[in-house]
Structure 1
Amino acid sequence: MQRRTLLSALSIAFSAPMAALAQGDDDRSRQPPGYPVSLAQLQQAVAKSFPRRYPVQGMLDIDLQTPRLQLLPDENRLRAAMLVQAAGPALNRAHEGTFDVDFGLRYEASDRTLRAHQPRLARLKFPTLQPRVEEMLNLYAPRLADQSLREVVLHELEPKDLAMLDTLGMQPGAITVNSKGLMIALVPKTS
């Protein structure tokens, strides 16, 4: 009986956003309750952290523009595709390129945020640079991937949402990437 009451309360607390994500999807209704976050919400949050500039040993600066996020449900990760510009004394002129990074997500309880975690670099690509210069920049790319996305906030849970969960003895659990955004599982609190 208590479990039904708990699940009913969770359904009421999260009914509007969950209904929006679960419309027409019977499989989703069989999953445990969760807290949905749309791709649009993620994109809006990540935009607050960009553009960013990174100097490379005083020789040039790499400017990263706001990433365009892509969901990778099969890998339970996200991809950030960024336009990038490299300019400085080591180059004759500014060069534009792209930079793609895949990353996982983690929940940080201290500030109620979802953060980028474990970035995995694709490559820096500059069509107008000589291949050897592009290769040199790609030696720096893993560090750039880590610096640019490490701990970027992608969503912040509202205190009122967590207060309701706390009252019900629940907390955020595993984060799953799906075709519409994320679903944060709601799990019983451990001690």
Structure 2
Amino acid sequence: MRRRLLVTALACAPAFAQEPPESPRPRQKVSAAQIYEALSRRFPVKRGLGGLLELVVSAPGLLLLPARNKIGASLRVEASGPALRTPQVGDLDLVFALRYEASDQTLRAYEPEVLDLRLPGTPPESAQAIRALLPRITRDLGEFVLHQFTPRELALPDTMGFKPDRVTVLEDGLEVSFAPKGS
């Protein structure tokens, strides 16, 4: 009987010797709906090229790209003007990197990058003129606020000694992980 008790105790010893798991860190979730609303406020965007071409970029659709840890927008591009025989319509996909800005407690999208521009039926010279305007449009989008944390949202993590740290893109929104204030 004692031998069985000793064998059982020795078998369980490694489980007791393990360090306790690290205490869970606070996390905050920002829903896809909140992100979409912030993104929608940035559009429509209108840009022209010397009176020859005008682009209107509108109707964003939200893209969540967890594999790249980025968010994006699927946009409608409408091009018109004397440089085109007929108005052209296409689709533009942009992605943005994400960061937390401590000075105003916001989540921000920045570094817009063009993923794809689809202009079916557009003559090559017209498509080239439209592509020439894209860097200007993405530069004009710049950095913008996706979410501003309220003092209430940050109160508990703050009293626990944590600050927002890493932003992770999920299938249904964003997750902000917190880290100890000293790190």
TM-score, with length taken from structure 2: 0.78
Matched, 1:134 2:123: no
Aligned residues: 162
Q: Aligned residue for 2:145?
A: 153
Identify which of 68, 73, 78 aligns with 2:66: 73
Identify which of 81, 91, 97 aligns with 2:90: 97
Question: How far is the alpha carbon of 1:98 from its aligned partner?
Answer: 0.8
Matched, 1:187 2:179: yes
Matched, 1:60 2:53: yes
Of stretches 110-119 and 36-45 in structure 1, the one that deviates more from structure 2 is 110-119
Q: Aligned residue for 1:110?
A: 103
SS in structure 2 of the partner of residue 65 of structure 1 = strand
Matched, 1:167 2:156: no
Q: Give the aligned CA root-mean-square deviation in angstroms.
A: 2.2
| Cα deviation 1:21-80 (Å, max 9, x = unaligned) | xxxxxxxxxx63211111111111211221121222332221111311111111111121
Does the CA-based 8 Å contact 1:124-1:141 persist in structure 2?
no
Structure 2 residues without counterparts, runs of 5 or longer: 1-22
TM-score, with length taken from structure 1: 0.75
SS in structure 1 of the partner of residue 122 of structure 2 = coil
Does the CA-based 8 Å contact 1:123-1:138 persist in structure 2?
no
Give the structure with higher Rg (CA). Answer: 2
Runs (4+) of structure 1 moved beyond 6 Å? none
- Which structure's residues are more often strand, by fraction? 2
Does the CA-based 8 Å contact 1:77-1:177 persist in structure 2?
yes
* Distance (Å, rounded) in 1 between the aligned partners of 2:145 and 2:34: 11
* Distance (Å, rounded) in 1 between the aligned partners of 2:42 and 2:76: 14
Q: Which amino acid aligns with 1:159?
A: P
Does the CA-based 8 Å contact 2:34-2:147 persist in structure 1?
yes
- Which structure's residues are more often helix, by fraction? 1
* Distance (Å, rounded) in 2 between the aligned partners of 1:143 and 1:50: 15
- In structure 2, relative to structure 1, the CA distance for the partners of 1:109 and 1:57 (3 Å cut) is farther
Question: How far is the alpha carbon of 1:102 from its aligned partner?
Answer: 1.4
Q: Which amino acid aligns with 1:91?
A: L
* Distance (Å, rounded) in 1 between the aligned partners of 2:144 and 2:81: 26
- Provide the identity percentage: 38
* Distance (Å, rounded) in 1 between the aligned partners of 2:176 and 2:58: 28
* Distance (Å, rounded) in 1 between the aligned partners of 2:62 and 2:95: 9
Structure 1 residues without counterparts, runs of 5 or longer: 1-6, 8-30
SS in structure 2 of the partner of residue 128 of structure 1 = coil
